[in-house]
Amino acid sequence: MINDTIAGVSTAVGNSGISVIRLSGPEAFLIADKIFKGKYTVSEQKSHTIQYGKIISNETKEVIDEVLLSKMEAPRTYTRENVVEISSHGGYTIAVSLLNLLYKNGARPAEPGEFTKRAFLNGRIDLSQAEAVMDIIQARTQRVSKIAVKQLEGSVSQKLNEIRERIITLLSDIEVNLDYPEYDAEEITLSKAERAAEEIINELDGLIRSFHYGKLLREGMDVVIAGRPNVGKSSLMNRLTRKNRSIVTDIPGTTRDTVEEYVNIKGIPVKLVDTAGVRDTFDRVEQQGVERSIKAISDADFVIILIDISKGFITEDQDVLNKVLGENKPYVLCFNKTDLVKDKQTINEFINSYPGAILMSIYEDTGIDELEERIFGYATENRQDMDNQVLITNARHESQLRKAKELLESAHRASQLNMTLDMVALDLKAALEELGKITGHHADEDVINAIFSRFCLGK
Amino acid sequence: MSDFIGGVYDVIVVGAGHAGCEAALATARLGFSTAIFTLNLDNIANMPCNPNIGGTAKGQLVREVDALGGQMGISADANFIQSKILNKAKGPAVYSLRAQIDRRAYSDYMKHVLEMQENLEIKQAEVTDILCKDKRIKGIRVHTGTVYYCKALILTTGTYLNGSIIIGESKVSSGPDGLLPANKLSNSLKELGIELLRFKTGTPPRLNERSIDYSKLIEQPGDEEIVPFSFLTGELNIEQVPCYMTHTTEETHRIIRENLHRSPMYSGEIKGIGARYCPSIEDKIVRFADKESHQVFVEPMGLGTKEVYLQGMSTSMPEDVQLKMVRSLPGLENAQIMRPAYAIEYDCINPAQLKLSLEIKGIEGLFFAGQINGSSGYEEAAAQGLMAGINAAMKLQNREPLVLDRSQAYIGVLIDDLVTKGTNEPYRMMTSRAEYRLYLRQDNADVRLTSIGYKIGLVTQERFDRFMAKSRLIEKEIKRLQETVLPANNEINEFMLRHGSTKIVTGIKLYDLLKRPEIEYHYLSEIGQGADLPKEVIEQVSISIKYEGYLKRQMNQIEQFKRMEERRLPEEIDYSSIHGLSTEARQKLNAIKPVSLGQASRISGVSPADISVLLVYLESRKRKG
Ligand SMILES: Nc1nc2c(ncn2[C@@H]2O[C@H](COP(=O)(O)OP(=O)(O)OP(=O)(O)O)[C@@H](O)[C@H]2O)c(=O)[nH]1
Ligand SMILES: [Mg+2]
């Protein structure tokens, strides 16, 4: 019954940034060989050993990550099947690319809990645990569907449902013609089907592009630290990168050019940009720097506006804020140097007049966590938390969207080639089933692989 | 006073409609002494509604019944007056054969087939009671009090149970076509604890064709080339009778709207549940208000009668309104109604109480088939009748029941849908209900089923030998096409261009040539590569080559499906004791008692997680030994 090879994440992308991707099934070694370059091929590699190597996309030839790969031959493995585990340091984005690469090379996305299911069905998990396994299935399924629903809330789910509706409309147009040939329903022609399929493909394409870990997560996000001179921008940069990259002095106008540095904030790749303090100046070098700061703001995905709380919120701070508002950029206000303000009253006033602002003291290392949290939160907005489950669900959804798209392309081709309507219908129905797996409108025949439950994969 | 015992049989069939005839013929042909009871011997295999057999999905059912050794296809071939393949342009998965039938001739023919059948007795009586002892069928009692004993009982009572016919404000107790209803049997079923539903269906008026001005109608002739239903029937050649088409007018719609309050459907008089797919004309006009006109077909009811059927005008309006409605159609201005349209309400059982063998759960030897199971249509009835007959016989032979699955036949889809999902309206077969439509074609019904029928014992040696011969021809031809390579010369390329294809540069196999959508098999003779083969062989060869990719995909899907069907769920499982199942799943599973994980997964309320729980449960059961 179990005869395909599945892939999923077995260890969450946690604070360590390490994720472990697991492949299980008869083809595990073959699939791994398609994308892994090490000293040995995976097939040659000795069982129960680890080797170092590179994951290379066999499409783009691009190196995705450097990893450790362990090989375990059945039956002495977690699932009692051939197992490959790939440990990567790359964080969320890399883990997703890695999974997608495996799906493209013949692995099927593992359903939540499927590794455990296989372990049980293959006799690895003891009979005495059967009841516990069954209990967990129900409980976790409920959780998983909750998460899926949450995740699908908003624009993505709306779009998905729209697409489903369109396929259903097209399909029923065809079916009525097939089942009631002599009724005077409007006749659906191949060219009509072709056009409709094309439109749906475009919609699907858009959805696939926007679906999850969008541009921000794939390419990282640009975060600009802005503020008038001497508020502590370079100090914050150094703190966030844990490097002494930017020069810090008590002289306003120290930073004359933008300084960039890459950091990883809770698994999100971030390009941090330290800027020259914004103010009116006659110094031509500084002027250039200010212009660059303004350009940086307009290119930013997110802006940190730093204010020196000990000096209060002054006109120059307002100027910076206005620039950011003018560019319509998401931002966060940080009131730095709280260590200099002794009376609580002032601080409270600030908080009340600028709700959502962060109180910070780089000297005392307060407010930094909160800022990181805010950046991460923005990057992952509408994506709930970046936990394991979300990662897996997203990667699986994407793979299903792609399958649906392929099937629609096949329907489109069939219409173009003048195949008959029944063949077109066959493709459309299959596409609908793929989408149904995302939205939970479940299609009967694929139940064997249907969601077992949200076992945190790999336990 | 002790009962008069009228007879003792292996099998008794109650009802001699399309289901009953197939059931009785099957058990008798399999060697069991059988009696078939009908309310009226003059209406065996009656067609109280449309005078045709086949159509989309239904044509496939008839082919399947035939491939298994049933009767309907043979009888239809002997009594049709027009034949047509529907959906010819829409693809092999949905080609469907439909024939207009001479209604009286068909009935007489079927009666004769029953009369001539070895092991079969035919009796006219109203069956009033089902006799049961210790949850096992004993026999029946008829209205005269006479008792008949049997080991298996098959109920195929159609729409006769507590039938009542409604025409406008009039409602009378009656079976279809003015025949007697069966008013007692429902109570007997209720006493056995069987849940009944009340369904509704309807039929349009019949007219005298002499009152129709055909010059205003559009003729609808049959196909030039006649394709028979039965794999046993050879060439057919008859003088065909046309159908005609007209349409509703603004006037028709106005009449209906103005009289809606007199329609029992809208006044609340009719409580039975009608089918969405078969609305009455007043339904159509209310629900599709912007549609200006609906098609109406005039279909002949036989060669020996002037009576015609008015398809599309099913209604339960009062007679005076009916006449106005009919006369508002072009060509029917002076039409005479011979039989008015009517709606009929009847009792049927909730089919979810059945096993896939069509035996009811909890009573040994009691089978149900046809409209009593909530289906509609002659073909659906015949298919169930055949299966109930086969399975009654299997039971008496102590053999496993014959259950066709959804990937084997429309019959499998039909019965699985009824039994697993139940139905809340009269169930009609449609090709879109079949997941594996591309494989469940009418041309390969024999490939799918004849060997099975042979093993059961219904398929005669003659039929089996013919099937084997055909299979060999198909195999040989495919081999030839695969082994013959055409050179890339002028003649071939001219041929290619002539048929709108592109030139070839290297040699090409005939097989690959035929894969091109634009190249038809019969073109091959132009380049001296044709073969003198029967049409049905060529059809299957072409389909299997042209649609190879799709067929392969379908076969993969079927393989997946089969894996789930093969995971058997033992009957004795008590689902309420299984840890981890949802409450709803427990109830449903205990009620339906699915035979496989696949069937369980199709029960509404059983989630994929419940299926996984069952998987784990099955595994632990196995390990416990
Ligand atoms: N008390 C206190 N001083 C701070 C804090 N953060 C930074 N400073 C000091 O403020 C001064 C200016 O810091 P920078 O980081 O150079 O400021 P900047 O915004 O980059 O200044 P420009 O580059 O000139 O625009 C330095 O003397 C820092 O040591 C803080 O949290 N508390
Ligand atoms: Mg600076």
Amino acid at A115: F
Query: DSSP letter at B592?
Result: H
CA of A308 from ligand 1 middle (Å) equals 9
pLDDT recorded at residue A135: 55
Share of chain B above pLDDT 70, in %: 97
The alpha-carbon gap from A449 to the nearest alpha carbon of chain B, in Å, equals 9
Give A18-52 pLDDT, tens digit per residue. 678 899 999 999 999 999 999 999 999 999 999 99
pLDDT at position A422 = 86
The full DSSP string for B35-54 is EEEES-GGGTT--SS-SEEE
Class of CATH domain B206-344: mainly beta
Task: Say if B439 is an interface residue toward chain A (CB within 8 Å).
Answer: no
B430 touches chain A (CB under 8 A): yes
Q: Can you read off the two tokens belonging to residue A295?
A: 């350009």
| pLDDT of A224 above 90 | yes
**Terminal Cα-to-Cα distance of chain A (whole angstroms):** 22
Token representation of residue B566: 């093969």
> Could you tell me the sign of the dihedral formed by the alpha carbons of B418, B420, B423, B429, in that order?
negative
**What whole-number distance in Å separates Cα of residue B162 and Cα of residue B479?**
59
Q: What distance in Å separates the CA atoms of residue A187 and residue B90, rounded to the nearest whole number?
A: 11
CB-based contact, B557 to chain A, within 8 Å: yes
Confidence of residue B108 (pLDDT cuts 50, 70, 90): very high
On whether any CB of chain B is under 8 Å from the CB of A302, the answer is no
Return d(Cα B132, Cα B134) in angstroms, integer. Answer: 7
pLDDT of residue A128: 59
Averaged pLDDT for residues A118-139: 64
Report DSSP letters for A255-280, one per residue: --S-EEEEEEETTEEEEEEE-PPP--
Ligand 1 neighbourhood includes A309 CB (under 6 angstroms): no
Is pLDDT at B53 greater than 70 in this prediction?
Answer: yes
Are the Cβ atoms of A423 and B582 closer than 8 angstroms? no
Q: Which CATH class is domain B5-200+346-456?
A: alpha beta
Q: pLDDT at position A37, please? A: 94
Q: Does residue A355 sit at the B interface (CB-CB below 8 Å)?
A: no
Provide mean pLDDT across the span B45-70.
95
- Residue A346: the pLDDT is 81
Q: Is the pLDDT confidence value at A89 over 90?
A: no
Name residue, tokens 């914050």. A236
Does residue B87 register a pLDDT over 90? Answer: no
- Out of A134, A420, A442, the one facing B613 most closely (by C-beta) is A134
Q: Could you give the C-alpha distances from B560 to A1, A279, B372, B436, B565, in angstroms and in order?
A: 9, 69, 33, 12, 9
Residue nearest to atom 27 of ligand 1 (CA): A250
pLDDT value at residue B307: 96
Using the predicted structure, report yes or no on whether residue B505 has a pLDDT greater than 80: yes
B596 vs A: CB within 8 A: no
Q: Does A136 have pLDDT greater than 60?
A: no
Q: Above 50 in pLDDT, residue B432? A: yes
Q: What is the pLDDT of residue A256?
A: 83
- Span B341-358, average pLDDT: 95
* B224 CA to centre of ligand 2 in angstroms: 91
Contact B438 A179 (CB under 8 A): no
Q: Does A133 touch chain B (CB under 8 A)?
A: yes
Quick one: average pLDDT of B166-189?
A: 88
Q: Looking at residue B407, what is its pLDDT?
A: 95
pLDDT bucket at A109, cuts 50 / 70 / 90: confident
The reply to whether ligand 1 has any atom less than 6 angstroms from the CB of A367 is: no
**ipTM confidence:** 0.81
Burial readout B195-230 (b: 16 or more C-beta within 10 A, e: otherwise): ebbbbbbbbbbbbebebbeeeebbebebeeebbbbb
Q: Which ligand is closest in space to the CA of residue A278?
A: 1
Domain B567-624 belongs in CATH node 3.40.630.10: no
Q: Does A423 touch chain B (CB under 8 A)?
A: yes
Q: How far, in Å, is the centroid of ligand 2 from the Cα of A367? A: 19
Distance from CA of A162 to the nearest CA of B (A): 22
How much of chain A, in percent, has pLDDT values that exceed 90?
28
Confidence band of B257 (pLDDT split at 50, 70, 90): very high
Q: Is the pLDDT of residue A146 over 70?
A: no
Report pLDDT for A184. Answer: 61
Residue pLDDT, tens place only, A153-193: 455 667 777 888 888 888 887 887 787 777 665 667 888 88
Neighbours of ion ligand 2 (CB under 5 A): A 234, 254-255
Q: Contact at 8 Å (CB) between B19 and B70?
A: no
Beta strand A331-336 with A302-308: parallel, antiparallel or unpaired?
Answer: parallel
Give the least confident one: A40-49, B174-183, B185-194. Answer: B174-183
What is the distance between the alpha carbons of residues B483 and B472, in angstroms, rounded to a whole number?
16
Q: Where are the beta strands (DSSP E) in B431-540?
A: 485-486, 508-509
Residue in B295, B431, B609 closest to A178 by CB: B431
Q: What is the pLDDT averaged over residues B411-439? A: 90
CA A307 to chain centre: 32
Q: Return all residues near B77 (Cβ < 8 A) that are at least 6 apart.
A: B99, B228, B229, B230, B233, B236
**What's the CA-to-centroid distance between A226 and ligand 2, angstroms?**
10
B578 vs B77, more confident: B77
Question: Using 50, 70 and 90 to split pLDDT, how confident is the model at A225?
Answer: very high
How far, in Å, from the CA of A285 to the mean position of ligand 2? 14
Number of the ligand 1 atom closest to the C-alpha atom of A236: 15
Phi, psi of A175 (to 5 degrees): -60, -40
Q: What are the structure tokens assigned to A68, written together? A: 């450790």
For chain B, what is the mean pLDDT?
92
- Is the CB of residue B473 less than 8 Å from the CB of residue B466? no
How many other C-beta atoms lie within 10 A of the C-beta of residue A320? 26
Q: Kindly determine whether residue A420 and residue B92, on different chains, have CB atoms separated by under 8 Å.
A: yes
Which residue among B294, B553, B616 places its CB closest to the CB of A130? B616
Assign B399 to helix, strand or coil: coil
Weakest-pLDDT range from A48-52, A210-214, B430-434, B469-473: A210-214
Rounded to an integer, the average pLDDT of B173-185 is: 86
Per-residue confidence (pLDDT) for residue B376, from 0 to 100? 92
- The verdict on a CB contact (< 8 Å) between B560 and A448 is yes
- Beta-bridged to residue B136, according to DSSP, are B133, B364
| Element (DSSP H or E) covering residue B550 | helix B548-566
- A254 touches ligand 1 (CB under 6 Å): yes
Query: What sign has the CA pseudo-torsion A82, A87, A90, A93?
Result: positive
pLDDT, position A2: 57
pLDDT surpasses 70 at B583: yes
State how far residue B171 is from chain A, nearest Cα, in angstroms. 31
Region B228-245: mean pLDDT is 92
| Nearest atom of ligand 1 to the alpha carbon of A310 | 1
Q: What is the pLDDT of residue A441?
A: 60
Chains A, B: CB contacts under 8 A, how many?
136
pLDDT in tens, B519-545: 999 999 999 898 899 999 999 999 999
| Closest C-alpha to B27, from B412, B460, B388, B415 | B388
Tell me, yes or no, if B622 comes closer than 8 A to chain A by beta carbon.
no
Distances (CA, A) of A184 to A108, A447, B284, B443: 44, 37, 13, 27
In chain B, what are the domain boundaries?
Answer: 5-200+346-456, 206-344, 476-553, 567-624
Q: Is the pTM of this model over 0.95?
A: no
Hey, which of A228, A230, A292 would you mutate to test ligand 1's pocket, going by the most ligand atoms within 8 Å of its Cβ? Answer: A230
The string of DSSP codes covering A122-152 is: TT-S-GGGHHHHHHHHHHHHHHHHHHHHHHH
Interface test with B, best of A180, A420, A439 (most B CBs within 10 A): A420
Contacts of A179 in chain B (CB under 8 A): 56-57, 94, 430-432
For residue A362, which atom of ligand 1 is closest to its CA?
31
Map out the domains of chain A with their CATH numbers: 6-110 (3.30.1360.120), 130-210+392-453 (1.20.120.430), 217-385 (3.40.50.300)
Per-residue pLDDT tens digits for A367-410: 999 999 888 777 765 343 333 444 445 666 777 888 899 999 99
B59-63, B299-303, B431-435: least confident range: B431-435
Q: Is the backbone peptide bond immediately before A75 cis, with ω within 30 degrees of 0?
A: yes
- Please indicate whether residue A381 or residue B604 has the higher confidence score (pLDDT): B604
- Probe site for chain A from B60, B90, B291 (most A CB atoms < 10 A): B90
Q: What is the pLDDT of residue A392?
A: 44
Percent of chain A at pLDDT exceeding 70? 76
* Chain B from 189 to 208: CB within 8 A of any A CB: none
Q: Between B132 and A63, where is the model more confident? A: B132
Residues of B in contact with A452 (CB under 8 A): 608-609, 612
Query: Quick one: pLDDT at residue B214?
Result: 95
Task: Provide, as residue numbers in chain A, all residues whose Cβ is less than 8 Å from the Cβ of B94.
Answer: 178-179, 421-422
Put simply, whether A315 touches B (Cβ < 8 Å) is: no
Q: Do A422 and B57 touch (CB under 8 A)?
A: no
A228 CA: nearest ligand 1 atom: 25
What is the side-by-side order of every strand in the sheet holding A6-11?
A36-38, A49-56, A63-72, A83-88, A19-24, A6-11, A108-109
A303 CB-near residues (< 8 Å, 6+ apart): A223, A224, A225, A226, A297, A324, A329, A330, A331, A332
How many Å is the Cα radius of gyration of chain B?
A: 26
Q: Which of A120-134, B12-26, B321-335 has the lowest mean pLDDT?
A: A120-134
Query: Nearest CA to CA, how far is A403 from chain B (Å)?
Result: 14
Asked if pLDDT for residue B149 goes beyond 90, the answer is yes
Nearest to A447 among B557, B564, B582 (CB): B564
Q: Would the CB atoms of A138 and B295 count as touching at under 8 Å?
A: no
How far apart are alpha carbons B123 and B117 in whole angstroms? 14
- The span from the CA of B459 to the CA of B442, in Å, is 18
Residues in contact with B187: Cβ distance below 8 Å, sequence separation at least 6, in sequence order: none
Query: Chain A: residue nearest B57 by CA?
Result: A179
Among A371-375, B444-448, B489-493, which range has the highest average pLDDT?
B444-448
Per residue in A231-278, pLDDT (tens digit) is 999 999 999 988 887 888 888 888 888 888 878 777 667 889 999 888
More confident residue, B416 or A156: B416
Residue B417 to chain A, least CA–CA distance (Å): 12
Identify the CATH assignment for B476-553 out of 3.40.190.10, 1.10.10.1800, 3.30.9.10, 3.40.718.10: 1.10.10.1800
Q: Where do the DSSP E strands lie in B301-336?
A: 307-311
Which candidate from B94, B607, B624 shows the least CB-CB separation from A422?
B94
Least confident of A395-409, B70-84, B108-122: A395-409
